[in-house]
Amino acid sequence: MTSHVKPLTLTGTVAVVTGASSGIGEATARQLAELGATVVLAARRIDRLTQLAKELGKQALAVEVDVADANAVKSLFDQVMSAYGRVDTLVNNAGVMLIGPAHMAPLDEWKQMVDVNVMGVLNCTKIALPYLVEAAKSAPRNVADIVNVSSVAGRKAQPGSAVYSATKFAVGAFSDGIRQELASQHVRVTLVEPGFTDTELASHINPVILEKMQAAMAQMPRMTAHEVADSITFAVTRPTGVSISEILIRPTEQER
Ligand code: NDP
């Protein structure tokens, strides 16, 4: 008898990863495919997704989708079901961080963060839910997974990122509520809250604000996208009877 816990295999399972065109989503898709899952790559930049799907081979499908658009999300899952007939894992990773002082922020940037970071998670979860519940009843794992990517900002608000934080706090509340609802149906829900990670996320910030932040940002310790993705793949490969509810992951030198 071994004292080690054997990770679940992902062979024969289907994972949908939103925001798979860069950063944490792309890294997660690569790792899930390496672990045997068929991976559906979802985001708006279809050129990036198509390139990644080519690299991953038969195990991947690229689908252009704006997660804020419920009809587009419905069409995404229609395509997944017609291609593969099941959804075992949903990684709600797509997100935008348009930060800056409230008095300078255009209202449409706030709306975009709410639409993508909150409505995107709700749209995908709502539409995937019946498929996840069904997958959890069957082999190979007898369990299904929703992983919601929040942030350290989903635990602590700061000046300059009040609305981004508000969206991530919402993801945290939704995750814990839905986790309790779905526990008896063997759909696990994991909230992943990364600290600073080296991705394209900050590149969408208003250039005037970005310039002011540049000196501080250059000093920040950062994790790689793969280091964060590793926490996502850890959660979805736990044994059927184990659910990781929350992972707060920071670079070692990040204090807050
Ligand atoms: P990236 O900017 O590299 O990735 C963001 C992804 O979200 C892209 O693939 C983008 O694809 C996708 N996306 C944005 N808007 C939409 C939309 N409307 N519909 C579909 N996809 C969309 O940044 P990260 O990898 O860092 O971000 C991933 C997640 O991690 C986000 O939720 C972010 O809030 C969170 N996070 C990141 C941290 C960091 O320091 N980097 C720290 C804490 C949390 P496309 O543009 O092709 O649509």
pLDDT band, residue 88 (cuts 50/70/90): very high
pLDDT band, residue 98 (cuts 50/70/90): very high
Task: Please indicate whether residue 43, judged by its CB atom, sits closer than 6 Å to ligand 1.
Answer: yes
Q: Is 84 a catalytic residue?
A: no
Rounded Cα distance between 26 and 55, Å, is: 12
**For range 72-86, the mean pLDDT:** 98
Indicate left, alpha or beta for 100 from its phi (over 0: left) and psi (-120 to 50: alpha).
left
Q: Is the pLDDT of residue 1 over 70?
A: no
Q: What is the pLDDT of residue 218?
A: 86
Residue 180 three-state SS? helix
Which residue from 30, 66, 73, 97 has its CB within 8 A of the most atoms of ligand 1, so it is best to mutate?
97
Query: Which residue puts its alpha carbon closest to atom 34 of ligand 1?
Result: 95
pTM of the model: 0.98
Task: Please indicate whether residue 116, judged by its CB atom, sits closer than 6 Å to ligand 1.
Answer: yes
**For range 19-29, the mean pLDDT:** 98
Q: Is residue 210 within 8 Å of residue 220, measured between CB atoms?
A: no
Containing 43, the helix (H) or strand (E) segment is strand 38-43
What is the maximum alpha-carbon separation in the chain?
A: 62
Task: Please indicate whether residue 92, judged by its CB atom, sits closer than 6 Å to ligand 1.
Answer: no
Q: What mean pLDDT value characterizes the chain?
A: 96
Q: What is the pLDDT of residue 78?
A: 98
Rounded Cα distance between 31 and 227, Å, is: 11
pLDDT in tens, 198-238: 999 999 999 989 998 888 888 899 999 999 999 999 999 99
**For range 151-165, the mean pLDDT:** 97
